Amino acid sequence: MGVGGTLRNVSYEGALIDSRLDLIDVCQIFPEDIEDDSPFELELTLTDSREKTWLIRGSVRWYRVSELARNTSHFQAGLLLKDRQSRAIAKGIIKSVMNMKQKGDHVSF
């Protein structure tokens, strides 16, 4: 089980996570013992349009949760990539996007 969302503003060192959450999703993301403004880590499984997946790990540097509707929240977070493998995946995404843009292809991750 996991929380769906979108990865935006990918750089060699980090990315922006953008997601809609219900109460169950919030419980999956935030550890029970977290204190306000405490740093925490996330693992993300990225899936591209061809159903290929990658696992990246990072430290949440900032986050914002705002209420959208009665039982739904909007979650955004800045993720600092934690390890060499995660940064290599981000670099590969950037390279793929740049190649697709040069060819005029539609870019979807």
CA distance 80 to 62: 10
The model's pLDDT over 93-106, given as tens digits with 9 standing for 90+, comes to: 888 888 877 777 65
Nearest partner of 1 among 64, 40, 45, 51, judged by Cα: 45
53 CB burial (10 A radius; 0-12, 13-18, 19+)? exposed
Q: What is the CATH number of domain 6-103?
A: 2.40.10
Mean pLDDT confidence for 66-84 = 84
As a whole number of angstroms, the longest Cα–Cα distance in the chain is 48
The mean pLDDT of 88-94, rounded to a whole number, is 89
Under DSSP, is residue 44 helix (H, G, I), strand (E, B) or coil? strand
Residue 33 pLDDT class (50, 70, 90 cuts) = low
Q: pTM higher than 0.85, yes or no?
A: no
DSSP 24-37: HHHHHHS-TTPPTT
